[in-house]
Structure formats: structure tokens, C-alpha cells
Structure 1
Amino acid sequence: MAERGFVTLAFDPSYTGESGGEPRNVASPDINTEDFSAAVDYLGLQASVDRKRIGALGICGFSGMALTAATSDSRISAVATVSMYDMSRSISRSHQDSYTQEQRRQVIDYISQQRWADAENGNYSPGFHEVPFDEKGNIVKGQRILPESLPGNPDPVLAAFFDYYKTPRGFHPRGINSTTAWTATTPMSFFSFSMYANIEMISPRPILLVAGENAHSRYYSEDVHKMASEPKELVIVPGADHVDLYDQMDKIPFNKLTEFFAKNLK
């Protein structure tokens, strides 16, 4: 986007990657929504930036926070998402809302008791951001680290993430999903924070939702598109999966993103 003429600020969410904050590798819907407003603060202090022409572009889980930030921060004049995840929905209900009510209670009890363990141990245990269950219906505890090699006939979602995070394509020795994990108690705040509760407040500012045709996350963008008020647009990229839109330059619709922001930040 910088190469296309936009003053562009890229940042890692608080407590992750190159951003500061302790404890490391914890996500929070409230804090990570605030990250986008903090980025707007910073941009608006730059002499080269027109405060009335600031947009937000989010990718994967943190694109949901970009949308949520726009519901309460009118300084965001236009917002676009790519491969969007609703992390509150994903963490509290699992993929395709597959948790049963009883499983949701089990997850809440697990992370609640984990807080005692962390408090007693004086450190944060690693864990899954979306707590899985095994074939017997028991919670799987442990680190959210992808296997070093794929099993035979792997789940397509696992295969896609493996191809990104565990290969030179997207691997980083300090990257969550590459070698490190979220804190085990990260899910708690997401059970308490429903994103998009006020999504109609983004209007009349425009929303652009971009998702891959074959993305397992596609339904998040489609559902938000149904919920949001006009103006809004949903773009489905033919032949793309979820992670293709992280880095595959021939599939990311840069022309569409450029057109969207050029039109709506004029």
C-alpha cells in the first residue's frame, strides 16, 4: 500500500512480535481493538497525514479488531479486511460454531482453573487460542504449535497453516504458530467481548471485506457483510484459500484495495 502512494503504518498487535508489552503472546479483544485507534493517534500526528483521510486494513484475526475499532472510532474513515476471522466467535464457539453448550462450559471452566495454576506458578502457561477436544470429548491441553511434519491425509485447514507457518514462506523463530504459542488463558476475554455488537455504527463509512473462495474462514466475512449497514462490499477471490491472501501477491487484490481507499479517503 505504501508503494501505491499511501502513508502506511504496519504494526504487530500489543504483546506480540515487534510490539512491546508483558506478558508476551497474549491476545485481548479490547486491547487489540485499541491498537488500531492508537495507530490512528500516531498517524494523525504526522505532518504528511490528513486526519480526515485515515483508513484501516486488517488481516486474519486482527482484521476483526479493525472493524470493531471503526464502530467506536469515527476517525477511521474506511475499513477493509482480508481473510477476516471473528476471534470472539472463533474462540468462544469454535470453527463453524461447532462447540456444544456443554463444551463451551468446559472451556470456560478449564481456562478459569488455569488462572489459579498460573497464579500459583508465577508464570503463564502456553496453550491454544481455540481450545480443541479429542475424539473422546476431552479438552486437549498444551501448546498451539503446529507439528514438525504433516500427518497423512491432513485436515485442509491444518495443511494450509502448516504450509505458511512451518516453511520458509512464513516461518519466524519467534512467531506465534511457528514455534511459540498463545497463553493458555487468552480465550477468557474473548468469551466476554462480542465483536460487531455496534457494527451498524460504522455506516455511512464504507466497509470492504475480502475473502478467498476456498477459505475455511470465508463465512466470517459473509456473515459480517449480512450484518453491516451500507455502504459495504464483499469480494471473493477465485481459487484462493485463507493463507493465500497473507502473501500471494498474484492473488491479493491490491488493485481493489487501492481503488477502495483512493475513493473513500479522497
Structure 2
Amino acid sequence: MDNQTIPTSDPGLDRRDLLKLTGVSLAAVGVASLVATPAAAQYSAAWDKTFPKSDLVDHRKVSFANRLGIILVADLYVPKGNDPAGRHPALVVGHPFGSVKEQTAGIYAQTMAERGFITLAHDASFNGESGGQPHFIASPDVFVEDFSAAVDFLGLDPRVDRSRIGVIGVCASGGFALAAAQIDPRMRAVATVSMYDMGGAKWAWGGEPMSAEKRQAALTAMAEQRWEEFAGGETRYGALPMTLTDETDAITREFFDYYRTPRGAHPRSTSAISVTSDPSFFHFRPFDHLEAISPRPVLLVAGENAHSLFFSEQAFAKAAEPRELHLVPGAGHVDLYDRVDLIPWDKLQSFFDQHLA
């Protein structure tokens, strides 16, 4: 693997050797060419998603502002035949880090809409079609706010029962969703899938703590990069590599198979995030107050073979009742992004049917 790239679109994968100290330019990771020449995914000009359009669901694009004034763009999915005079349960769906609503989040939103929920899949601030400048940066505080803003939007839809709004967070959005639910009681039930704790990964990966010396070295390098960029120098980014080599590790290959192939590639999903975004995650600890969600329920879904399983196990240990850890047999981390035959749809539906009744 190229030592000047972060091994995945999820910056939780530190590799324990400070690959993030280097960073790369957008041009170096091919972001410009990816945007200009999208991979041959399953979308068309009329339907820009990486998955087929359902005949059972009405879809439209919407926009709304978060508390910081950033305009978020989202896809709203409504079951066909939905009683417009009724009040229905709704779900906010968050995408993986570096992803966009046209990928994994859209699959979950559309499928759960087929199962009776009004769903909203949004692009996080600074990503996809959403606003926030500059693009390709990360802020856990803002990403958490985005979930509450999505609840704001759904709660004013006359078709939605605002007392029955739940949340699904996939990968990094699982951690953001848990953090949001701790401070926003309007989120009545929370499910995470292949969840990442982005902050915890900065301190320990796979249970192996980063030494204080390495942590300080990483922060020092990122601080130096801030000076360079403030002085007009080149912004540096971490991103999933554009090609594989014999040295590419298994986790990188797993993400590559989704984000860099027709399976899941989308022109707005570059996976590039500025290196100077990283320090904000060092004090993002979404598990520290998980008990605050109770008595609202938490469902943690993970593949039994997922490299990220330990995050869900940690969250389960810290959460208060009602809580559940649901393991998907034979599944890895990225499998639950789009392998519809592995994603436990019945489990997700029964969870929300019960707790948004």
C-alpha cells in the first residue's frame, strides 16, 4: 500500500503507524478525475443512485438548514399508497464516512420505506451535495448536529408523527447517531450498522492503545499542516487509494471493493478528507455517556466477521437497557453496506415497529 494514503475512507483506521501524518493532495488521489469520469455504477442521469429504484416508493430530493446555517441536501423516501392524512413513523439514515446519500444510506432509506417508514437520507455537511465550505473536511460536532437537523425537517412534515422518529447510522454515522441521541430525546430509537467510533479509534485501534508519544507526534504534524495551509500552501487530504498493490492490506481491499469499483462508486464520493480535520476526532468520545439514551432503545448490528465488530461490542458494554447486539452470520464490515441478502431487514423493521409503535 502507498504509505502516503490513509487506508480507507473511514479515518478510524489509523494503522497504528501514523499514516495520517503524510496526507496527499486531491490530485494525488485522483479526486478530480473521479468526479469528472465516474465509475460505471448502476445510476443514470435520471436516477443517480448506485442501487435500482423501487417501484414501491416515491422519492424526491429535499434541502433544509442545520442549526449552523449549513444547507443539507437529502433524499426523502415515502411508501406509495401512504395515507397523506395519517401520521407515520419516520427514520433518519446517515451514511458512512466519505460516502454520500446515493450509496449505502440510500439503500437503507429506500428499503425501510418499502417496509412502511418515511425515511430521509442526508449528505453530511461538507460532503456530497450538502453545503459547508470548504468541502472535504470533517467535524464530528457538525455531523452530530446534522442528525438533529434531519429530525427538525421530518418533524415538520405533516405526514410524520414527530413522536415516532428513529435513526439508523451506518459505519461512522453509527457513532454520530449515538452521540446525537444522547442529547436529542426526539430520537426515539437508534440502530447502528457496522458502527465505527471515530474518536475511540484515535486513541486505540483494535484494543491496542496509541502511545502518548505517537498521539502527540500526530497532533504536532497536523498542527504544522494548519500553518502551511493558512499561509497559502497546498491542502493535504487522506483518502482511499485509487489502485491496489501487492502490499495493500485486507481492510483497505474491503473498502476498495466498494468505493472504487462499479459495485458502489459514485462521483461525489471521493473519500478525501483533509488531514487537518483529524484532531477534532481526538476529543470525540460518543461512548462516554451512552447510558443517557436509556430508556430509549439501542440496536447494534454488526457482521460476525467484521474488522469493526469490537466497536459495537464496546458500545453494547457501555449502553444501558434496553440494548441489543445483533450479529449477522458470515458478514464482514462492508458487506452490510449493500449486500441486501445479508442485511437483517426483518430485524431492523421489527426493532422500529416495536419501539416506534
When normalised by structure 2's length, the TM-score is 0.67
SS of 1:160 mapped into structure 2: helix
2:258 alignment partner AA: Y
Quick check: 106-115 or 224-233, which moved more? Answer: 106-115
Shift in alpha-carbon separation, 1:241–1:46, aligned structure 2, 3 A:
same
> Who is 1:77 aligned against?
188
Shift in alpha-carbon separation, 1:54–1:69, aligned structure 2, 3 A:
same
Instruction: Find the aligned partners of 2:198 and 2:227 in 1 and give their Cα distance.
Output: 24
Residue 99 of structure 1: how far off its partner (Å): 2.2
> Who is 1:200 aligned against?
291
Which deviations, in whole Å up to 9, do the C-alpha atoms of 1:105-144 show, x marking residues without a partner?
1111111111111111176x1323xxxxxxxxxxxxxxx2
Aligned 8 A contact 1:57 1:63 in 2: yes
Instruction: Find the aligned partners of 1:40 and 1:249 in 2 and give their Cα distance.
Output: 26
Instruction: Find the aligned partners of 2:172 and 2:202 in 1 and give their Cα distance.
Output: 11
Instruction: Find the aligned partners of 1:96 and 1:167 in 2 and give their Cα distance.
Output: 31
- Unaligned 5+ runs, structure 2: 1-111
Instruction: Find the aligned partners of 1:176 and 1:92 in 2 and give their Cα distance.
Output: 26
Aligned 8 A contact 1:89 1:97 in 2: no
Quick check: 167-176 or 106-115, which moved more? Answer: 167-176
Residue 153 of structure 1: how far off its partner (Å): 6.2
1:239 aligns with 2:330: yes
1:192 alignment partner AA: H
Aligned residues: 246
The alignment yields a C-alpha RMSD, in angstroms, of 1.4
Residue 214 of structure 1: how far off its partner (Å): 1.0
> Who is 1:145 aligned against?
240
Please identify which structure carries the higher helix content. Answer: 1
Residue 96 of structure 1: how far off its partner (Å): 4.0
1:35 alignment partner AA: D
Aligned 8 A contact 2:126 2:137 in 1: yes
Residue 166 of structure 1: how far off its partner (Å): 0.9
1:55 alignment partner AA: G
Shift in alpha-carbon separation, 1:238–1:253, aligned structure 2, 3 A:
same
Alignment of 1:34-73 (within 5 A): 34-73=145-184
Please identify which structure carries the higher strand content. Answer: 2
Aligned 8 A contact 2:170 2:194 in 1: yes
> Who is 2:52 aligned against?
none
> Who is 1:127 aligned against?
237
> Who is 1:230 aligned against?
321
Residue 98 of structure 1: how far off its partner (Å): 4.7
Identity %: 50
> Who is 2:201 aligned against?
90
> Who is 1:166 aligned against?
260
Shift in alpha-carbon separation, 1:157–1:201, aligned structure 2, 3 A:
same
Which deviations, in whole Å up to 9, do the C-alpha atoms of 1:18-39 show, x marking residues without a partner?
2111110111111000111000
2:274 alignment partner AA: T
